[in-house]
Amino acid sequence: MFRVGDEVNPEVFRGIVDELKKKSLHTNNYRKNSGVGMSQCFGYVRQRNGTYTGSRWNFQRIELYQELLQLAARILPPDFHWLSIQVNVNYETEPHLDKGNRGESAIIGFGDYSGGDLVVNEVDVSIKNRVIYFDGSQLLHYTRPFTGTRYSVVFHTPNQDFLEIPRFSFVIHDNDMLCLREDLAGVTRIYNKNGQCLFSSNGVIPPRRKCQPTLRPCIENVREELE
């Protein structure tokens, strides 16, 4: 039904908590299946036309995105596949199925809170500082009430094939700045968090991206950067 992973040191979440304290998430009104709350998706997200592209939050919250990628590299096994990252702040979900996902998801909770267990098929399981693996597309799940500040992160994979050419991107440091490196069709480009191209291997500098790039996180490259 679900798998319980190892316990995680709370210090691992410090960077994410700091970023969310500096600037919290917007209220997401589009997750009507699970309820309205402070929740945003990074990595690959579904567009209204049915295609999947990179989330605009990959650029708009690049420091937070970097922390999330680092968390994945530290707590998830190398053979666990995911393309999207859902981040929640004090989000008490209603009973639902993740109809837009496929396969196992990995969820972990952290913060100064009590209560807030994840209920999977009517079984309560604590996700605080511990990774729980389960197929949310098949198992009804929701959040128990809680007190305090509860953060949670879900690593998952969309259930549809990608309908456009993927751009392989990962976060790098360039001149002491966090940037996104993009490799596509033999051309490498580096963008800053404002969507401006700082470098292009073929010398062609495209217009500013307006914080809405098409991205596909390349987890293997991120893991290599961290190692």
pLDDT tens, per residue, the chain with 227 residues:
899 998 999 999 999 999 999 999 988 877 777 777 899 999 887 766 566 667 778 878 888 998 999 999 999 998 998 989 999 999 999 999 998 888 999 999 999 999 999 999 999 999 999 999 999 999 999 999 999 999 999 999 887 655 444 455 667 777 777 887 777 667 888 888 777 888 889 998 877 765 544 444 444 444 444 44
3-state secondary structure of 11: helix
Q: What is the pLDDT of residue 191?
A: 81
Q: Whole-angstrom Cα distance, residue 108 to residue 128?
A: 6
3-state secondary structure of 182: strand
Phi, psi of 66 (to 5 degrees): -60, -45
**Class for the domain spanning 2-156:** alpha beta
The structure's pTM equals 0.79
Provide the H-helix boundaries in 131-209. Answer: none
Provide the H-helix boundaries in the chain. Answer: 14-22, 57-60, 62-75, 219-226
Give the closest residue to 72 by CA, choosing from 60, 56, 85.
85
Residue extents of the structural domains in the chain: 2-156, 168-226
Q: 167 and 184 in contact (C-beta within 8 Å)?
A: yes
